[in-house]
């Protein structure tokens, strides 16, 4: 089936030379077999044992491990506690890579883009070591090389801060206007928008789509399947 905005998607890709992929969502469902809610609960329990008081995670985010880390970073900035918490989360993400579920069409899209000469990078709030382990598991690491940019020890640099996107543009030698970010969260969009990087939203369900649209992403720039992009890539496409 032809995507209702196929022409716009085709034009978007025609202007692109570098594609920045968020990891958890557009590439895989990292916590598919290792639930994020349980990971977040484990982090909160660890904080309760080691911190002076609990971390006030915002309503609606208690099951989000990154929200726990961000709040800890704000409450205990530049502390050993935050460094240890970040390492605990990295360990959990590495464990999750063994049961992560590939996003349908992601492997084929990455392969097509890489073979066509697009510069590819990962820009994620997850640990770069976890992203690399998954990509190696799926035989996709070769398409990204050293351009896997993720969480640093400082949670203040997590998206929506554009730190990892800026690093990706630098290491790939790309400009913002010739790049495209594929992400599935408002934080992805906000980070890309700060640098002037065009954004394509991957929304696997209506709730995800609404969150992106409410943040300002055009409905025409949201896809529910990466197959939509495969369908509009020109046969024999190459990037010079």
Q: Domain of 226: which CATH number?
A: 3.40.50.1000
Whether 73 and 184 map to the same domain: the answer is: no
Total tally of structural domains belonging to the chain? 2
Domain that holds residue 221: 6-29+102-232
Q: Which residues contact 86 (CB under 8 A, 6 or more apart)?
A: 69, 151, 153, 155
Residue spans of beta strands (DSSP E) within 110-166:
119-123, 148-149
Whether 89 and 160 map to the same domain: the answer is: no
The CA-to-CA distance between both ends of the chain, in Å, stands at: 30
Asked which of 78, 96, 114 is the last residue of a domain, the reply is 96
- 124-133 pLDDT, tens digit per residue, is 999 999 999 9
Q: What residues form DSSP beta bridges with 123?
A: 149
Q: Is residue 240 situated within a structural domain?
A: no
Query: What pLDDT is stored for residue 20 in this prediction?
Result: 98
> Average model confidence (pLDDT) for the chain?
94
Whether 15 and 63 map to the same domain: the answer is: no
Q: Is residue 186 situated within a structural domain?
A: yes
Whether 140 and 201 map to the same domain: the answer is: yes
Q: Is residue 238 situated within a structural domain?
A: no
Task: Say what the pTM is.
Answer: 0.95
Q: Which residues contact 84 (CB under 8 A, 6 or more apart)?
A: 50
- Residue 240 scores a pLDDT above 80: no
Instruction: Give dist(CA 197, CA 178) in Å, integer.
Output: 8
Percent of the chain with pLDDT over 90: 85
Average pLDDT over residues 33-55: 90
Helix (H, G, I), strand (E, B) or coil at 179: strand
Average pLDDT over residues 63-92: 94
Asked which of 96, 113, 132 is the last residue of a domain, the reply is 96
CA angle 33/34/38 to nearest 5° reads 140
Query: What pLDDT is stored for residue 97 in this prediction?
Result: 98
| Tokens coding 205 | 């369900």
Asked which of 96, 115, 136 is the last residue of a domain, the reply is 96
- 72-86 pLDDT, tens digit per residue, is 999 899 999 999 999
- Residue 167 scores a pLDDT above 70: yes
Whether 139 and 191 map to the same domain: the answer is: yes
Strands 148-149 and 222-223: unpaired
């Amino acid at each position: 089936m032809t995507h209702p905005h196929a022409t716009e998607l085709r034009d978007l890709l025609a202007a692109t030379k570098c594609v920045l992929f968020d990891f958890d969502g557009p590439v895989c469902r990292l916590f598919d077999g290792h639930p994020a809610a349980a990971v977040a609960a484990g982090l909160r329990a660890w904080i309760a044992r080691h911190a002076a008081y609990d971390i006030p995670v915002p309503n609606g985010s208690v099951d989000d491990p990154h929200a726990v880390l961000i709040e800890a970073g704000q409450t205990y900035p530049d502390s050993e506690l935050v460094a240890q918490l970040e390492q605990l989360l990295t360990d959990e993400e590495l464990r999750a890579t063994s049961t992560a579920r590939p996003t349908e069409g992601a492997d084929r899209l990455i392969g097509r883009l890489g073979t066509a000469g697009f510069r590819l990078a990962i820009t994620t709030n997850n640990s770069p070591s976890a992203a690399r382990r998954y990509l190696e598991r799926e035989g996709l690491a070769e398409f990204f090389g050293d351009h896997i940019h993720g969480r640093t020890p400082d949670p203040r640099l997590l998206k929506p801060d554009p730190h990892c996107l800026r690093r990706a543009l630098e290491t790939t030698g790309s400009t913002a206007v010739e790049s495209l970010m594929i992400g599935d969260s408002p934080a992805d969009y906000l980070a890309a928008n700060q640098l002037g990087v065009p954004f394509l939203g991957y929304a696997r369900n209506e709730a995800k789509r609404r969150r992106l649209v409410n943040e300002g992403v055009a409905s025409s720039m949201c896809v529910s399947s990466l197959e939509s992009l495969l369908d509009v890539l020109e046969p024999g496409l190459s990037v010079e």
